[in-house]
Every structure is written in structure tokens, then in C-alpha cells.
Structure 1
């Protein structure tokens, strides 16, 4: 073979080898051949065609069903803890009215509130539906809005179940309904079948329930409120709404009217002249008279919140629909005998002593109370007000009044839990000495604070135990700052207080946040349960023929140490035996040996008064609230029942004692893991120089412990002073030989809470 032929052969061999080398050395080329853009596009188009085909099949197969909303509505049964009947509801209050009888602007208000494109769309919000399907598949629950047509279909033709099939049915039926029926037909169905709260189904019943007029006589402002109400009927009902909910519904009302202006349905000048139309008070369901209505509505709220929490409902509105569809058997933890006893105690100790004709201010008193088993978390009794048909807001669950000095045990719990020290570096215990001078500026705070004690009383140098007994504001203001207000807030949250109402500022030491009797009962139940978290549970069990709702265990983990919780309990026995609750509780004729711990509270300007206390087997929080009988505004309790003012050691403590001493064990004892506080018996008898003459039956609840050096023991023990609920003179001030160093000159601020 010649050179030329050899060269050509080598070249041919090299060209042949090249493809083989690429195949062996390039691993990506095979993947690229498999995932080409043509194949990806083809797969995508194929999936789209398959989906379209499936939807066409669904569209052909699914028909518009017969409306069955009324048929599905059944009664709900509410039972006491022993299974006996408490109440039954579920009666449908509806009167269908033709759309022509609803003013045009009221119709437009509903469209502006829920679906501005209603008159233009095809009945389905594709983006919202797709988002809902994805969230359902991912387990997140639906988000986003639906059209009026979809909402009508879901409420009237289908169920509230969170399934892909139900959502697909909703979309198909909505498309068909939009093609086969007029927009007026759909809108009429929507406003006539929707639930508005107050057991009102449909706009006619709602107009009567909220404004005592027929639907045809509704003003546009009133129609806008009813339209806004549909987002959360129970939450937005003005008669029972919290301050936050009232703000939300007013914002929603403004949103509706502003949308009407944008759509050209309402003149701008007419809109600007409109004022929020406050609804009339509810007429009430006779079956919910007395305490029954409070218990039923509180149980409904708890059920609806749980349905949302466990993902059975998308939101509260849908949970309401599920609950109203009925068939539920709801067993409460309420003990029938204790419930009756609590209501009798309030009547005997408070309402029977009020005379609205003689003293108009007596009409402004509202009482609320909650009783909790600290071992199980069960709410065994709840007093919501004098009568659900007269006052619809549940005073046991309302959070708009200050708990005042009933917050002080939380501060002490934080000090003990955090091993806090005074400004001079001394550990804080029940026997630590503080300056109890009124308006004494706190030391160590960036915010100047110098609270006034009740009646501007000066107590001089006192132990923390005495400060708790006498509810001395100046001591607990300094104590809170010594602990650190961030730490105080953190412990308050652990004990069960709502974090949204808490602020890490010195003024919070006076209990200036909002809280309910239910909330405070939970806090004290956690203390009674040796620091294991207790979340009050009203519901024992819930089930219907399709599902059983599971509730979490009311008793949770250890949130503060047992020693800290038990020390607070020990200190709080001093409030009863030698403090502001002495007359009403310790000396109560009905007391038969029960061991008691508790705390009084009276808010600034006497707008609320509290006593929250407990025995080893039961916790009860009682609150009195000043509420204007006509406007609902907060007002002082001065001159109620002919008294100068109402303190926590007065009516609240008297109600507490009348109830508790009839339903609690006389032999139960606090099992306390502590060597501090009034409940701890002294190991030696104080010498005469340390203990001035006093009656033999008195216990030295504030005597310094025997382990303390003699120089820290006051020369005169404050417990020998007969405590009063309203100190009008300066009590004797024990002068320790070791002078406290936690005082500093700061500008004083306004006085705050009392007892």
C-alpha cells in the first residue's frame, strides 16, 4: 500500500473513531435526546388535552342537583358533662324574598363585598379555584376568594368538605348554573340562603334580626353592613363583637361602600355622608335564656375554632356553615350542679343587692366567672352575665377589661422562675424587702414609672409576701423591672396569657393589659397544677354521623418549675389569711377548712374588680366590669350598690367564697414543694421583740424565715396590722436594719392599679 493510501486509511479510521469517542465520553447527550424540548412540549400538551378531556367528561356527567340546604339542616344537641340535655338548636329562620324587593343598591353592596366582577364573569374564579385545588392537594387548605356563584353552589347544592372532588363539582356546577340561569337568579339565591348570624338565614331574616325592618326597607348603609357580616357572622355581630372585631367589621363596611363608588354604583358625595349603622340589639332565642345562651355560643366558638385548626374547614365562616348544618352532639365539661351553684352565688352576693331604680349606676354592672378543674383543665362552670337575652356579650370570655392586680402573681412567678435579683444583687424571694412607698420611682427602667398605691398608702419597707397581701403597686412595679419586663411577658405567655395583649413596659405590672376570666382561670390553674400548663377546655367531646372532632389534651407540659409555681401558691395563701381577701374569704362563715390561695384586683378608675383564687381541687376567676347599659362603653363602678367603690375583696371575693365553699373538698391540701411563703409553717417561735402582741389565732404569714440573718428580720411584723380592703391611713412601716438599695430618683407618672 502506498503512502497516500495509508494516509487516507488513517484519516478514514480517525473519522470513524470520533463518534465512538463522543458516545463514550459525553454522558449528557443521551439525557438530552430523551428530554428534548419537543418531547417536553408534547407531554405538556398531552396533559392539557387529557385534563380538558377529563373536564369535558365531568361537565357532561355532572348535573345541577336539587337544592338541599334545608334538608341538611338538623338540630345540634348540647349536653352537660353527665350527658343530660343542656339545649337543642337548629331551627331554621328564613323567609325567601324576591330580588325585586331588595333595593338595587343593597344588591350591589353584596356584589361589591364579595365579587365585583359578578355581572361579567362566567361564574368561576379560575385562579382562586386552581389555588384552592393546589392547597387542598398539599394539605394547606384553600386560600383566596370564590365568586358569588361558587359560594352559592357550595352552600346550597354541595357540602363544606375539603376534597378535590367537591371543588371540581363546585366549578362544574357553577359554570353550568351561570349558563343556564340569570345573574339575578343566582344573586337572589345567594342572599336568600346565606347565613348572617343571630340564627338568621337569608336577607329578610337578617334585616329583621339586625335592624328590625323588612329587606325592602333597608338603607344602603345597612345593606353594606349585612354584606360585610357574611365574611364572619359570629365574629362581626356588633352585639357580641370584641373591640378588635368591631374595628374589622367597620373596615369591611368601608371597603364595601368604597367598592360601590369605584364601580359607579354609589355617588362619592353620598358615600362621604354615610355613618356606620349600629345594629339593634338581638331579640334573642327564648331557648337560650339565662346562662344557656352563653354556654351554647361559647361551645359553638370552640367547635368552629377547632374545625379550622385541624383543617376540616378553610376558615371560621366555613366552620360556622358546617356547625349550622347540624347533626352534632356537643358534650360540654360543664358540671350541672356547679353551674347552678355559681349562678346562685352571683345572684345572692351581687344582683340581688342592685337596684337600678334607686341607683342608675347599678345598671352598669356586669359579672363574669369561670371555674376550672386544675387537674383536667375542664371548665366545670361559667357565668356569662345576668341573662343571655338581656346581655348577649359573654362576660366570662370577654378580654376588654384589665385584670389589674390579679397579674401580680405572674410577676412573682417570673422572678422565681428566672432566679431574678434586686437592683442591689440580692435574690428575690417571698421575704425580700422592698420599699412600699407610694409613687416611689422605679430604678433600672428606661421608662420613668412611679405608680400610686391604693389610696396613696405608704407602707415603708415590706417583704414581697406583705406586698402581695396588701397589693402594693410600688413594690411590684420595682419587682417587674428587677426581673425584666421581657421575662415577665415571656412567663405570662407560658402561663396562658394572650401575647397580643402583653407589652414589656413597667405599667404592665399593674395588669393594664386586657384579659378574660377564662384566661385568668387558666393562668391560676397552671399555678395550682404545680406549673404544668392548663388550657381551659369547655368541650368534652363532639361528634356527628360523619366525623368525630378530636381536641388536644387541656393539660400540657411543665411551663415553669414546680418550685416556682408552688411558692406563688404559698404566697397567695397570705392574701387570703392576712391580706385584701381576709374578710370575704378567710372569715367567711361557709368556709369549712378549705385551703385557699388567691389574689384580688381593682383596675384604674375602678372600671373592673376581680378575685381569682383556688383550692387544691378547683380554680375560679370572678370579674366585675363597669359597662354603660346603653352605649356599652367602659365606666367606673363607683357608688354601685351604694358603696364608695367596688374592690376585688368585695363583691368578687364574696361571690367566689359563696360558690367555692359549697362545691370544693374540705379535706384537700396543697402539696407544695417550697420553703417560702405564708403557707410554710415557721420552724421556730418568734421572740416577743420580733412579734408584737396579737390575737392568738393569727398566723405570722409575713415573718421572715428562720434561715435569714437577724438583721433582715423587721423589728415589727406587718402582719399584725389589721388589713383593710381600702387603706385610708398609712400602715406602720417596719424598718429593717438592712436598708434596701433599689430606689432611684425618677419623674413619677400617673397612678395605676389598686387592689
Structure 2
């Protein structure tokens, strides 16, 4: 039987017990086997197919089984690996697949998942649609005004945008281009969509995912639903409900009805709700008289009316106007010729209600600006019915108003006073005086105006020196005038104090010492210190030796923030004026304030504070000591007495007071002639008086606290770039009387030299009955002809220049 490889031609092939014929096995290789196989194949035609297949199987790759079955060969697994039985529930990683494909889902799985989620989504939508009823209009549809309170949370300060609405009963009576402009600008597929626009939503989502400026995908119908039915929506659940309602309302109301209701509901800025009030506020006439150009302007600014108002940003308003007209052409509402014939319309000046009258108007504008910067919309602020609690203490605010307005009757009309008071522990503004009446001057003296800082900047130079390792005991020559690195510097008085330390130089605001110190330490370090304290980067401070004398102009509120950093031990906190803003049901939308950041070492600040205490105890700001507790600060007078300052603090509160004069055309005016019997106006006069009057009330209920004691810090060894020198003054002292009789008595300390003209950045500490102790120039000794008022050249003359 060895030679038989299968059934003989004469015999039928044997069958298994199951009745199936066993597979035919090809003959083994060898002599005669091939001939016999062929012969058998010829004799048994019915077996040809099976034998032919078997022949191919003999040449099959080794990965297949001997019987040639592809199914059996697959069971060998991937590249000869043992076959693995698939798991029926979670088939990952997929067995018997390659290293990549084993982790990829099959097309059946992908299709099944998609269909499942699609069915679930459709089912959820159908269920939500059936279960959602169109509600009655929400109260917010009437745009409930927001109330602002003082810090106690109960005393009202004012309100934002009490409802200013006038309903048009028949919007179809308006010119067609009014509604067409709104449709073109807000929802170009308004007449074809079913209340929601999947294309717009997808476009907005893709735009937002790419990090571009945020876009919304809401249709005009959704915007109407949001304002009239659901109020302000923010969560995804709210947006989903909004979309369902939009679809339902689109089926229940005609497009013209929806558009008319939208125009009666939407906020257009300037406190105006609805197209009728918007036409009145922007153009002074009814909506029925709106021209095509006017309609395009109003429609274009709808997304952000407070920011794109032509009175606020005329450039952006015109961009939006052009955009709307272009879209009206694309939508077939107007022709290209009609579009080209349009001119940008003129608008009337926005009006203010009495809510903004008086000093409180400046506070309300600051509160509004902070909320907008925090991300709240104008709709929320003006029509969201919010409860807004400010940081302003009502008692301290009244004290600030009283003190700031306590100036002589002959004070020129252009003189402005700015006061900012900050809680050192939190950065909260507890009182601020930005002017007498916001409706008269809509510019905040504390936050928008600037004034040269004068000698208040010397504190920045002092801290820069202390950080560099300089000790308060470091001594410098103090004669005047003095050449420092080729610059000629003069002091305010006629006293040569010899070699003095930095404490005395701070107490008496000695210019020559501070310019030497600033030159040695590096003027760029003063710039860095000023910004770290809280002076914004936008305030340009040139890195030159003279920057320590304060030629840079700063906002008075910024100076309060910077000195508050010193008062808090070197911890900087951004100032803020809003404690919280919440909806009527108690949902908090914003909370002001943030964690502080330690910018300076405590020992550096302790030394600086100690030197500043001497200014109050016996220096140029001695009047401030009348509050009867430890205080520190610095006076300052700018070039030609265009501004005067006192910025000071106790451990709990920091307050800055600035006074300056503005001319008829907005130009800076020198206060050297003075008023109220004081001449010139300097930091040690009215600013210190105002500070003292206000702070007496501000600290009345506060415990007396001491400043941190000085400790000798371990600082790196500091070597000045030039050694302090004590050469002889460049001018010989003289005993000659001034050519013009002085208006005040001689100083209590006899001067050791008398310059012919003395500029400064400081001011007298007393009334005109005493000689000033800190002045850019000696006001009692002007030239005989009345000329020669001090300029920066008088104080600090750069190389290559001569005295003016």
C-alpha cells in the first residue's frame, strides 16, 4: 500500500463515517508518481477540479496548511503567530492583525457607532422638542437696570441704563432698508434657515478652535429668543434650549414678525433698547426717518454697540458700516450703484442722565469700564438687572470730595485736583475724586489725566539704590550747582549741607544727591523699580540720570498704586473698584481683586519707608504729621510748578493727591503765580493740606500701627561708579540782597551759598509766611525783571547746552 497515494481508478474513494469523502492527497514526489497521477486524472474526469486544486496547493506558500484551505491558512495568525480567538465584546487590540491595524476600529464598528449616536441625538432632540414649551417673556426682556452700591452693599451709588425703550407696534411701517440692513449684518440666511444655522455654528466653532477672535453662531431668531424669552444665556444647556425655542418660534411666527420683534427687543447702545430709541439716540429722529446709510450704521454696531459707537471708535464704526453695505449688495437688497452713493452718516453726541452728575459719575464710569474689561457685556451691565457692589466707602468718599474741593475761592478755573485712596491689604480703591462734575468734564483727573511726577520719583531711585546694596548711610556731596557726568544739576534751596546721607537727602529732597545716586546705580534700574511698583509700562520713563527728578508724567491713581506697594511691604496688587457683580438670583458673575505678588525684599522696603517717614516728621511734608500717627510719604513739584503732589501712607491706607492747571486749549499752565495767598503752588502746600484733611477722617476708626523696624540687611557690596566728591561750588557765595524784595521771610537755616537761580522738583512745606524748604527754584528771589522761570534746563542741564 506504500505506492498508493489515493484511490485507484477502479475503486471508488473511501468515505469517512460521516459520509464525506476525505481530501485527496497529491502523490509524493518521485519516479512514476507524476505519470500515474495524470493517468488517474484522465480516467476520472469528475475528480479533475479537486485534483487540480490540490496541485496548486502543493506549490502554495508555507504559511498555508497542507490542504490548501485559505481559511485554515488565516488561522495561522499574523506572520506565523498562533491564531487567537477574537473577543466578542471589546475586541481591542484586534488579534491576528498588524501592529497598526490591530488598534484601528473596523469599518463596521465605526459605522455602528455613528449610527448609534445619530439615533440617540435624533431621539434626544425629538424628546426635547416635544417637552419644551414656549414660555412667557422673561422679565429681562424689559431690560431691568443694574444697581450700583457702595462698599456696604446697601447704600445705592447709581444705576446703569434704566430702560430706555419705545415699542413700534407695526415694524412693517418702517422703511424696508432698516430690516434689510439688520438681516444683512446679523443673519444673511435669516429667510432660509429654520431658526438655527448649522453652517454658521460650524463656521464659528472652527474659527474659535483656531484661536481667532471669538465668533457666535447664533441666528437672528436665536438672539431674539435669548433676549425676549430666556434672558442672558451662557451654559451649553441654555444654548441648547435656546436653539429648540428658536426652531419652535420659527414655525409659529412669520419671518417678518420675528424681525419686527427683534428690532423692538435688541440693545443698540447708548442705553437704547429697540430701533425707535436707537434712532433717537444716534440721529435725533424717529426710526421711520432712518436713511439707508443710517440703518447700515446702526445695524453694523449691534454686536458691540458700546465699543463701536461712532462717539467712541469712529474708525471701527465706519468699518462695520462698510461691511453692512457690502453684505446688503451681496444679499440683493441694494444695487452696487446705491451702495456707492452712500456717505458715512453723522451722529449726535451721546446724552447722559443725571445718574452721572457730580463726582459720582467718575466712579460709575470706572465701575462700568472694569466690568467690561472683565468680560461682561453692555447688555448684562445695562439690562441684566445686576447687583454691583463697589469698593468705595461712602464716608471716605464724602471726605475725599470735601477735602479736594476745599481750595481757595480765587483758585483758577483750570486747576484740577485728583485724589486716590487705596486699601493696602487688598488693592481696593476706597475713595477717589476725579473731578467736580462728570457731565461738565468727562475726563477723570485721577485715572485719565497725567502730571509730571516731580520729586515723587526720588522714592523709585532710592529703592533701586537699596536693592543694589546701597545703605541709607551712604553720603554724597550736596552743593549746588553741581556737574554730574557732564550734566549741571541744581538744588531747590540755597543751603549747602555738605556731605549728607540718603535719609537727609530724602527728607529735604536734595536734587544733586539724588542725581549722583541715580547715575551711580543706573537710571535703568529706576525705570524697572517704577514699573514693578505699579507704574504702567505705557508711562514712558527715559533711562537718564534726570529721571529721578520726575520729568515723566503719570496718572495720579498709578502713583497711589505704586506707593501702596511700598506700604504693603513690597507686595504689589492691582487696584480695583468693583467688589462683586451678581444677577438678581445671586449668581456671581465677577469678583474684583487678585492675589498680590512680592516684588521687593521686606528689608529694602523698610529702609525706604524709614527715609520717607522723615519727610512727614520734619521734612517737606511735615503738615501730614498732623494726622497723629506714623505716616510716610513724599512731596513733589514738577518743572515750572505745572503740577504739585503729595503721596503718602499709613500701614493700612495709601493716598495720592495731585494738583495741576490746564489752560483754555488743554495746555499745561504753570502755577508759579499761585492763588489763595500761596505762591508758588508746590507739593508741600495745598496737596499736603488736602491729604491731611482727608486722611484724618480715613484713619479715625483704624488702629494705630507702626511701620516695620529697620534691620541692617545683608546686601552685596556696592561700589559707586564714581566716588562722591566735595569740590568747591562753581559759584562764589554772596551776601548780596536779591534785586526784588522777597515776599516771605528768610529761611530758618542760613544758606551757605546763594545761586542766582534755583530750580527743583519740590515745594515749600509751609504757607507763604515761611520760606519754602523744598522748591525747584527760590520763589522769593526771582530776577528783577520777572523773567527766568525755571525749566528743566535750570534744574538739569545736559552736556552741550547752556542755561536758558
Normalised by the length of structure 2, the TM-score is 0.66
| Within-5 A mapping of 1:48-87 | 48=118, 50-52=120-122, 54-55=124-125, 58-59=128-129, 62=132, 64-70=134-140, 73-74=143-144, 76-87=146-157
**Residue 275 of structure 2 contacts residue 287 of structure 2 at CA under 8 Å; is this kept in 1?**
yes
Question: What is the DSSP-based 3-state SS (H/G/I as helix, E as strand, rest coil) of the residue aligned with 1:524?
Answer: helix
Shift of 1:528: 0.8
Moved more, 50-59 or 648-657: 50-59
CA distance in 1, matches of 2:435, 2:376: 25
2:201 to 123, 129, 132: 129
CA distance in 1, matches of 2:251, 2:493: 75
CA distance in 2, matches of 1:609, 1:453: 19
Q: Is 2:622 the partner of 1:623?
A: no
Q: Is 2:688 the partner of 1:653?
A: yes
Shift of 1:502: 5.5
Q: Is 2:745 the partner of 1:674?
A: no
Q: Is 2:324 the partner of 1:284?
A: no
Q: Is 2:314 the partner of 1:250?
A: yes
CA distance in 2, matches of 1:610, 1:392: 23
| Partner of residue 684, structure 1 | none
**Residue 616 of structure 2 contacts residue 632 of structure 2 at CA under 8 Å; is this kept in 1?**
yes
Question: What is the DSSP-based 3-state SS (H/G/I as helix, E as strand, rest coil) of the residue aligned with 2:633?
Answer: strand
* Cα distance change of structure 1 residues 43 and 83 upon mapping to structure 2, 3 Å threshold: closer
**Residue 261 of structure 1 contacts residue 267 of structure 1 at CA under 8 Å; is this kept in 2?**
no
Q: Is 2:163 the partner of 1:92?
A: yes
Question: What is the DSSP-based 3-state SS (H/G/I as helix, E as strand, rest coil) of the residue aligned with 1:368?
Answer: strand
Can you list the C-alpha shifts for 1:180-218, whole angstroms capped at 9, x where unaligned? 656654454444333345543334434544565544566
**Residue 622 of structure 1 contacts residue 656 of structure 1 at CA under 8 Å; is this kept in 2?**
yes
CA distance in 2, matches of 1:166, 1:451: 69
* Cα distance change of structure 1 residues 326 and 162 upon mapping to structure 2, 3 Å threshold: closer
* Cα distance change of structure 1 residues 744 and 93 upon mapping to structure 2, 3 Å threshold: closer
CA distance in 2, matches of 1:464, 1:512: 21
**Residue 624 of structure 2 contacts residue 688 of structure 2 at CA under 8 Å; is this kept in 1?**
yes
Question: What is the DSSP-based 3-state SS (H/G/I as helix, E as strand, rest coil) of the residue aligned with 1:519?
Answer: helix
C-alpha RMSD over aligned residues: 5.2
| Within-5 A mapping of 1:162-311 | 162-175=234-247, 177=249, 185-209=257-281, 212-216=284-288, 230-234=302-306, 246=312, 249-263=313-327, 264=329, 274=344, 277=347, 279-280=348-349, 282-285=351-354, 287-303=355-371, 305=373, 308=374
Can you list the C-alpha shifts for 1:576-597, whole angstroms capped at 9, x where unaligned? 4565545x545xxxx1533332
| Partner of residue 105, structure 2 | 35
Q: Is 2:196 the partner of 1:158?
A: no
2:401 to 338, 343, 346: 343
Moved more, 532-541 or 501-510: 501-510
Can you list the C-alpha shifts for 1:222-268, whole angstroms capped at 9, x where unaligned? 766655654445556788xxxxxx4xx22311212322453456867
* Cα distance change of structure 1 residues 5 and 137 upon mapping to structure 2, 3 Å threshold: same
CA distance in 2, matches of 1:433, 1:365: 37
CA distance in 1, matches of 2:803, 2:376: 41
**Residue 138 of structure 2 contacts residue 228 of structure 2 at CA under 8 Å; is this kept in 1?**
yes
CA distance in 2, matches of 1:698, 1:255: 66
Question: What is the DSSP-based 3-state SS (H/G/I as helix, E as strand, rest coil) of the residue aligned with 1:15?
Answer: coil
Shift of 1:29: 0.8
Q: Is 2:570 the partner of 1:570?
A: no
CA distance in 1, matches of 2:488, 2:402: 38
| Partner of residue 419, structure 2 | 369
Higher helix proportion (structure 1 or 2): 1
Gaps (5+ residues) in structure 1? 240-245, 309-314, 421-426, 444-449, 678-694, 700-717, 732-742
| Partner of residue 556, structure 1 | 596
Q: Is 2:386 the partner of 1:333?
A: no
Moved more, 102-111 or 656-665: 102-111
CA distance in 2, matches of 1:291, 1:19: 88
Q: Is 2:435 the partner of 1:385?
A: yes
Question: What is the DSSP-based 3-state SS (H/G/I as helix, E as strand, rest coil) of the residue aligned with 1:316?
Answer: coil
**Residue 135 of structure 1 contacts residue 142 of structure 1 at CA under 8 Å; is this kept in 2?**
yes
| Within-5 A mapping of 1:432-471 | 433=476, 464-465=502-503, 468=506
CA distance in 1, matches of 2:197, 2:167: 27
* Cα distance change of structure 1 residues 616 and 253 upon mapping to structure 2, 3 Å threshold: same
* Cα distance change of structure 1 residues 262 and 195 upon mapping to structure 2, 3 Å threshold: closer
CA distance in 1, matches of 2:260, 2:660: 43
| Within-5 A mapping of 1:351-500 | 352-354=409-411, 362=413, 364-398=414-448, 403=453, 405-417=455-467, 419=468, 427=470, 429=472, 431=474, 433=476, 464-465=502-503, 468=506, 487-500=525-538
Shift of 1:386: 0.8
Shift of 1:172: 3.8
**Residue 210 of structure 1 contacts residue 282 of structure 1 at CA under 8 Å; is this kept in 2?**
no
Question: What is the DSSP-based 3-state SS (H/G/I as helix, E as strand, rest coil) of the residue aligned with 2:230?
Answer: coil
* Cα distance change of structure 1 residues 321 and 722 upon mapping to structure 2, 3 Å threshold: closer
Question: What is the DSSP-based 3-state SS (H/G/I as helix, E as strand, rest coil) of the residue aligned with 2:417?
Answer: strand
CA distance in 2, matches of 1:723, 1:501: 29
1:316 to 359, 376, 394: 376
CA distance in 2, matches of 1:566, 1:64: 66
Higher relative contact order (CA 8 A, sep 6+): 1
* Cα distance change of structure 1 residues 538 and 336 upon mapping to structure 2, 3 Å threshold: same
**Residue 637 of structure 2 contacts residue 776 of structure 2 at CA under 8 Å; is this kept in 1?**
no
Moved more, 455-464 or 479-488: 455-464
| Partner of residue 520, structure 1 | 559
Gaps (5+ residues) in structure 2? 6-25, 30-53, 67-72, 83-94, 714-744, 750-763, 782-795
| Partner of residue 740, structure 2 | none
| Partner of residue 698, structure 2 | 663
Normalised by the length of structure 1, the TM-score is 0.69
In our comparison, the structure showing a higher alpha carbon Rg is 2
Moved more, 405-414 or 95-104: 95-104
* Cα distance change of structure 1 residues 145 and 503 upon mapping to structure 2, 3 Å threshold: farther
* Cα distance change of structure 1 residues 578 and 515 upon mapping to structure 2, 3 Å threshold: same
Shift of 1:562: 1.0
* Cα distance change of structure 1 residues 577 and 547 upon mapping to structure 2, 3 Å threshold: same
Q: Is 2:573 the partner of 1:530?
A: no
| Partner of residue 8, structure 2 | none
CA distance in 1, matches of 2:631, 2:617: 9
| Within-5 A mapping of 1:589-628 | 591-602=626-637, 609-624=644-659, 626=661
* Cα distance change of structure 1 residues 94 and 603 upon mapping to structure 2, 3 Å threshold: farther
CA distance in 2, matches of 1:621, 1:563: 24
Across the two proteins, how many residue pairs are aligned to each other?
A: 656
Question: What is the DSSP-based 3-state SS (H/G/I as helix, E as strand, rest coil) of the residue aligned with 1:157?
Answer: helix
CA distance in 2, matches of 1:353, 1:661: 25
